[in-house]
Amino acid sequence: MKKTISIISLGCPRNLVDSEKLIAEFTKKGYRFQEHAAHSDTVIVNTCAFIEEAKKESIDSILRVIDSKKEGKVKKIIVAGCLSERYKDELSEELKEIDEFRGVLDFGREGDSRGRSLLTPKHYAYIKISEGCAHRCAYCVIPYLKGSYKSRAMGHIIKEAERLINKGVKELILIGQDTSLYGMDLYGKRKLGDLLKKLAGISKDVWIRLLYLHPANLDEGLLKVIKDNKNICRYIDLPLEHINDRILKKMRRRITRNEIISLIEYIRKEIPGAAIRTSFIVGFPGETEKEFKELVSFAREMRFERLGVFKYSREEGTPAYEYKQQVPEKEKEKRFNVLMSAQKRVSEAVNQAFIGKLLKVLVEEKGKDYYIARTEYDAPEIDGLAHVAGKDLKVGNFYNIRITDAYEYDLVGYYESGK
Ligand code: SF4
């Protein structure tokens, strides 16, 4: 009987792609993939160590698999990913039950022949277009874990996209630590626009979605490509992290308040109706009450369609770890709640403006009473959903639905055949 393998994939989509490669590696060796980890011969925990919460979740998952090993249900444990890269020595010292460690730096190289076993639903897939990061934001540990920025060759990405589309994928999601810098290291200039044009040309019936654009690298040429190609989602994922100039500088974000505002105004003018998603960090060392209020007013004024808030996490080995005036946890929590509730009102209003409109959605699954779908303004696992009433809709197909109701994150609508 074939040996079985399963994986617990934690963290972001970038980690998920690494998990897909690991599974492909083991299935090539003759293992059979199982979805549920509790009874597999080998279990891989692909960890995340980006912030404190992620580390805790990773450790908890490893401990659960160790329990299964002690009960004799699991024979071998492999720990991969960022946590294993960062804390391998400590982990092997403390948790003797772990049989093997894999880091992160061997992933994503050209010539990596592992292939991928998709862990996403059949109708969408992620494509990594780069590894590592060229920035050195003061709070972030990623460059120390993943190294400097490395783009994948455009030809390889296009071939991968074609393969996925031929398999029936309807939405390709481009990822990297900073997708907007794509090409700089390989071709001497930014090439994301060129890459997008080619990808958008493969099939007009496939959505192309971009995640993780760094505001300092987002240029007019790229926005024009998005504007001109209707199958590139009107979804601009632009992590801003803060708006106060002093904090932006301390964060080493390489962009100022005025530059950010001009960029947002430009996006709003050039691509009207696009959903801008951003994320902010609250409680960065030294962030005063006044600077925090500036952030809240900015979020209110800009009316971001989608917004994520993170509490600053003090990470060893980063410049901000050494900064004085660390903000107490209680205060971070308070600021987090204030910003989240300000956004709640924006988000509800943004969604309510869709009532009565016809929106194109991709059907994700058949629920009990409704189909679950997503608009181009919503990335999987990150943003909201649309609940669709209708008959005989197919999972993985696009439909135009009429919106009848809207909540903070989700929309409700119906499909009438022929629309
Ligand atoms: S851009 Fe900044 S926050 Fe993002 S991965 Fe690079 S260093 Fe980290």
Give per-residue pLDDT as tens, 294-327: 999 999 999 999 999 999 999 999 999 999 999 9
CA dist., res. 89 & res. 233, Å (int): 43
List phi, psi (to 5°) of 347.
-60, -40
Tokens 């003797």: give the residue. 96
Under 8 Å between Cβ of 219 and 190: yes
Please, what is the Cα angle at 64 between 58 and 68, to 5 degrees?
140
Which ligand 1 atom sits closest to the C-alpha of 177?
5
Distance 258 CA to ligand 1 centre (A): 21
Token reading at 343: 């956004």
Across 258-382, where does the E strand assignment appear? Answer: 275-282, 306-311, 358-366, 371-375
Strand order in the sheet with 275-282: 235-237, 275-282, 306-311
CATH architecture of 124-352: Alpha-Beta Horseshoe (3.80)
> Whose Cα sits closest to atom 4 in ligand 1?
177
- 273 secondary structure, DSSP code: T
Distance 253 CA to ligand 1 centre (A): 9
Torsional class of 108: left (φ above 0), alpha (ψ -120 to 50), beta (otherwise): left
Which ligand 1 atom sits closest to the C-alpha of 133?
6
Ligand 1 pocket mutation, candidates 140, 150, 212, 254, criterion most atoms within 8 A of CB: 140
| pLDDT tens profile 381-405 | 999 999 999 989 999 999 999 999 9
List phi, psi (to 5°) of 79.
-110, 125
4-101 has CATH 3.40.50.12160 classification = yes
Which ligand 1 atom sits closest to the C-alpha of 146?
5
Under 8 Å between Cβ of 221 and 193: yes
Q: Which residues contact 55 (CB under 8 A, 6 or more apart)?
A: 48, 49, 83
Under 8 Å between Cβ of 44 and 8: yes
Helix (DSSP H) and strand (DSSP E) numbers for the chain: 12, 18
Please tell me the pTM assigned to this model: 0.93
Residue of 135, 125, 139 lying closest to 180 (CA atoms): 135
CA dist., res. 352 & res. 116, Å (int): 40
> What's the N-to-C CA distance of the chain in angstroms?
50
Distance 303 CA to ligand 1 centre (A): 24
Strand order in the sheet with 42-47: 32-33, 4-9, 42-47, 76-81, 100-101
Under 8 Å between Cβ of 48 and 57: yes
CA dist., res. 320 & res. 293, Å (int): 21
CA dist., res. 27 & res. 108, Å (int): 18
Which ligand 1 atom sits closest to the C-alpha of 143?
7
Amino acid (one-letter) located at 240: L
- Ligand 1 lined by 177 (C-beta under 6 Å): yes
| pLDDT tens profile 243-262 | 999 999 999 999 999 999 99
Distance 137 CA to ligand 1 centre (A): 6
- Ligand 1 lined by 140 (C-beta under 6 Å): yes
- Ligand 1 lined by 137 (C-beta under 6 Å): yes
CATH placement of domain 358-414:
2.40.50.140
Distance 310 CA to ligand 1 centre (A): 14
Strand 4-9 and strand 398-406: pairing? unpaired
Token reading at 51: 């912030």
- Ligand 1 lined by 135 (C-beta under 6 Å): yes
CA dist., res. 295 & res. 242, Å (int): 7
List phi, psi (to 5°) of 342.
-65, -40
- Ligand 1 lined by 133 (C-beta under 6 Å): yes
| Tens of pLDDT, residue by residue, the chain (419 residues) | 789 999 999 998 989 999 999 999 999 999 999 988 778 999 999 999 888 899 999 999 999 999 999 999 999 999 999 999 889 999 999 999 999 999 775 544 544 556 788 999 999 999 999 999 999 999 999 999 888 999 999 999 999 999 999 999 999 999 999 999 999 999 999 999 999 999 999 999 999 999 999 999 999 999 999 999 999 999 999 999 999 999 999 999 999 999 999 999 999 999 999 999 999 999 999 999 999 999 999 999 999 999 999 999 999 999 999 999 999 999 999 999 999 999 999 999 999 999 999 999 999 999 888 999 999 999 999 999 999 999 899 999 999 999 999 999 899 999 987 65
CA dist., res. 296 & res. 276, Å (int): 16
Under 8 Å between Cβ of 147 and 263: no
Under 8 Å between Cβ of 407 and 387: no
Domain residue ranges in the chain: 4-101, 124-352, 358-414
Residue of 305, 185, 285 lying closest to 242 (CA atoms): 285
Residue of 297, 142, 269, 314 lying closest to 214 (CA atoms): 142
247-263 core/surface letters (b: 16 or more CB in 10 A; e: else)? bbebbebebebeebeeb
Distance 386 CA to ligand 1 centre (A): 31
- Ligand 1 lined by 16 (C-beta under 6 Å): no
Distance 49 CA to ligand 1 centre (A): 14
Under 8 Å between Cβ of 129 and 158: no
Question: Residue 165: which H helix or E strand, with range?
Answer: helix 154-166
Question: HSE (CB half, 13 Å, CA atoms) of 392?
Answer: 3
